């Protein structure tokens, strides 16, 4: 599940899903159906470290399924860089999987894919294809 204001998080989420073997990707803004067993949330940081209202609303309804969070921001915000992820992780007791500068990098995608692949057998099967480990270093033109 993702929430994106400028398109950076959406692009990261779709590239990640493609590299993970075609995982389904849904936006919290499109009145999504409740995610299945569990989900990784990718979101942005608003203002000086706030959780976006749309992300907060989604989590109020679907937070029980949250397994981890990836947060986007910009380095120029200093200590508030990606802080929405810290706040969500603390509130829901889940790991902050990654903090992305803007749209993230291939290395960021590799780190998130590695986290997904390391999840428990029962939950990761729904999220990651068996070829993820082989694809984490794949270069995709225009997305890195």
pLDDT digits (tens, 9 = 90+) for 88-105: 999 999 999 999 988 888
pLDDT of residue 128: 35
pLDDT of residue 51: 94
- Which residues of the chain fall short of a pLDDT of 70? 31-36, 120-144
Q: What are φ and ψ of residue 68, in 5° steps?
A: -175, 165
pLDDT of residue 35: 56
pLDDT of residue 66: 92
Within 8 A by CB and 6+ apart from 121, the residues are none
pLDDT of residue 41: 93
Residue whose token pair is 């997904």: 116
Torsion angle in degrees (nearest 10) through CA of 61, 101, 117, 86: -50
């Amino acid at each position: 599940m993702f929430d994106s204001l400028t398109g950076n998080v959406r692009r990261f989420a779709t590239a990640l899903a493609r590299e993970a073997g075609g995982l389904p990707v849904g936006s919290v803004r499109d009145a999504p159906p409740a995610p299945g067993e569990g989900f990784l949330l990718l979101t942005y940081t608003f203002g000086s470290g706030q959780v976006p209202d749309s992300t907060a609303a989604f989590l109020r309804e679907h937070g029980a399924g949250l397994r981890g969070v990836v947060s986007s921001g910009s380095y120029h915000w200093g200590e508030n860089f990606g802080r929405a992820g810290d706040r969500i992780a603390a509130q829901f007791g889940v790991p902050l999987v990654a903090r992305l500068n803007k749209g993230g990098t291939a290395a960021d995608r590799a780190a998130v894919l590695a986290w997904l692949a390391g999840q428990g057998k029962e939950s990761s099967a729904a999220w990651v294809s068996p070829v993820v480990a082989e694809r984490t270093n794949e270069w995709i033109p225009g997305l890195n």
